[in-house]
Amino acid sequence: MTMLTIGDMAQTYMLQRQNVQLKQQMNQLTQELASGRTANVADHLSGNYSYLSDIEHGLEVLDGFDTATSEATLFTDTMQNTLGRVQDVVSDLAGSLIATTNTNLVSVYDTVSADARSQMASLVTSLNTSVAGRALFSGVAVDSSALVSSEDMLSSLRTAVAGEVTLSGIKTAVDVWFDAPGGSFETLAYTGATQSMSPIQLGEGESVDLDIRADDQVFRDMLKQTAIAALASDPTLGYSAAMKGDLLLGAGEKLLTSTNGIISIRADLGFTEARIDESVTRIAAEKTSLEYARGELLGVDPYDTATKLETVQFQLESLYAVTVRLSRLSLVDFLR
């Protein structure tokens, strides 16, 4: 009978190869058991990647929308908080101006007028708010502040009303400064863009507009009345006590009215926030669904994987035992 044998060197290489193969199988099975997903996608899917590619593409798109909604949430939350501060400042200042005019005391007029000057600076600072390096109320000019400083505005307004001695004349000059097309407000005070920020995409065919700009008429009216109150006691203008009282009272009454415009803007912004929240929930649900589908597609049976791992482990232990025995084999033992 013919016997086929292999040499010692070949046998050593064969054992080494089997050892490497078994270790690779064990590592693969261990990884699959720990992750619950196949480590060999090509074999698991039989080379058909179409469904998996669709899932991966969908997840990438949703990740983009998720980033957009996070950015939109940050912007709208900051806008809402900023407008809340603006509303509080305007409401408090309006109340102070109206209440102060009942005193008929010049010293009180001067104090409230000085407060209006301070609050105007606060309003300008609020409208120049930026987040993540982007100005919120400058339209598409996100790299530019929306307004110049309140002192620059007051300086220009001081020149505009100089020489006006009647209440109507002062108010008309201020109206022209703020409201005239191509006037001082648009050419000097407002440094943002006249085009609003582009809509933020929240999903396929769904977007929101954040088109609140500092040149909106609501903010112009608010700044206008605050400026009138600030100029009422300006020493360079030298208004009489009666004129100061009339200016402060008129500014207070119109400021009180302007809060309605701010409330309306905040209400619209609140509706936008609600839409963004709905999109966040929808995107999270869609991502969960796709991730589940991917898990089902690439998932492995943990019981079957554990059984295979135990089998490979037994094979590897047997190979070690055979290798040890062969390494101890001598000619005398072989001839016995």
pLDDT value of residue 81: 95
pLDDT value of residue 44: 55
Query: Which tens digit of pLDDT belongs to each residue from 272-281?
Result: 999 999 999 9
The alpha carbon torsion through 32, 37, 43, 48 (nearest 10 deg) reads: -170
Measured CA to CA in angstroms, residue 206 lies from 171, 278, 279, 282, 319 at distances of: 44, 11, 9, 12, 62
- 336 pLDDT tier (thresholds 50, 70, 90): low
Mean pLDDT of 195-208: 83
pLDDT value of residue 159: 93
Q: For all residues of the chain together, what is the average pLDDT?
A: 82
Mean pLDDT of 64-68: 88
Mean pLDDT of 172-194: 94
Query: Which tens digit of pLDDT belongs to each residue from 43-52?
Result: 555 566 677 7
Residues 6+ apart with CB under 8 A from 71: 132, 200
DSSP 3-40: -----HHHHHHHHHHHHHHHHHHHHHHHHHHHHSB-S-
Between strands 206-208 and 130-131, the pairing is unpaired
From the list 78, 71, 65, the residue with the least C-alpha distance to 212 is: 78
- The number of CA neighbours under 13 Å toward the Cβ of 185 is 21
pLDDT value of residue 31: 62
Alpha-carbon span 75 to 82, nearest angstrom:
10
Categorise residue 205: left if φ over 0, alpha if ψ from -120 to 50, beta otherwise.
left
Mean pLDDT of 207-236: 93
Question: pTM for the whole thing?
Answer: 0.76
Q: Is the pLDDT assigned to residue 102 strictly greater than 90? A: no
Judged by average pLDDT, the poorest of 115-124, 204-213, 309-318 is 309-318
From the list 245, 235, 227, 243, the residue with the least C-alpha distance to 108 is: 245
Are 205 and 188 within 8 A, CB to CB? Answer: no
Alpha-carbon span 31 to 38, nearest angstrom:
8
Q: Is the pLDDT assigned to residue 3 strictly greater than 80? A: no
Mean pLDDT of 268-292: 89
Tell me 105's DSSP state.
-
Mean pLDDT of 18-32: 62
- 101 pLDDT tier (thresholds 50, 70, 90): confident
Q: Is the pLDDT assigned to residue 13 strictly greater than 80? A: no
Which run of H or of E encompasses 202? strand 200-203
3-state secondary structure of 299: strand
Which run of H or of E encompasses 201? strand 200-203
pLDDT value of residue 199: 84
pLDDT value of residue 206: 82
* Share above pLDDT 90 across residues of the chain, in percent, rounded to a whole number: 49
Alpha-carbon span 4 to 173, nearest angstrom:
113
> Higher-confidence residue: 220 or 100?
220
∠ CA 177-183-188, nearest 5°, is 90
Are 249 and 99 within 8 A, CB to CB? Answer: no
Alpha-carbon span 110 to 114, nearest angstrom:
6
> Higher-confidence residue: 47 or 217?
217
pLDDT value of residue 4: 47
